[in-house]
Amino acid sequence: MASTPRRPVNPMDAAEALFKPAAKKPAPAVERPIVPQSRETVSIRLDGDVLAYFQEDGPGWQDRINDALRAAMVAKD
């Protein structure tokens, strides 16, 4: 049986066998551009009566809250 020995005979090969190859660094994360007028999911605490006011007209209450907040934002400018 003329196979290679289980242990390296050369000291340099022995040293190399002790170290694993360096892992490649992962590619940097790609920065996504901010899309204008995009929606973002947030958590907000509102008083019950305020929430009931916007929900009393049915579906679309989140859009109505957004419109009210936008109107307040524009009025401040």
Convert the pLDDT of each residue in 52-72 to its tens digit.
999 999 999 999 999 999 999
Domain that holds residue 70: 46-77
Domain-embedded: residue 60: yes
Spatial distance between the Cα atoms of 24 and 74, rounded to a whole number of angstroms: 50
Give the residue with greater pLDDT, 62 vs 10.
62
Q: What pTM did the predictor assign?
A: 0.52
Spatial distance between the Cα atoms of 28 and 62, rounded to a whole number of angstroms: 36
Domain-embedded: residue 50: yes
Count, residues in the chain: 77
Do 40 and 49 contact (CB within 8 A), yes or no?
no
Domain-embedded: residue 67: yes
- Count structural domains, the chain: 1
Domain-embedded: residue 7: no
Domain-embedded: residue 71: yes
Domain-embedded: residue 53: yes
- Quote the distance between the C-alpha of residue 14 and its chain's center: 43
Domain-embedded: residue 72: yes
Read off the DSSP letter of residue 40.
-
Domain-embedded: residue 76: yes
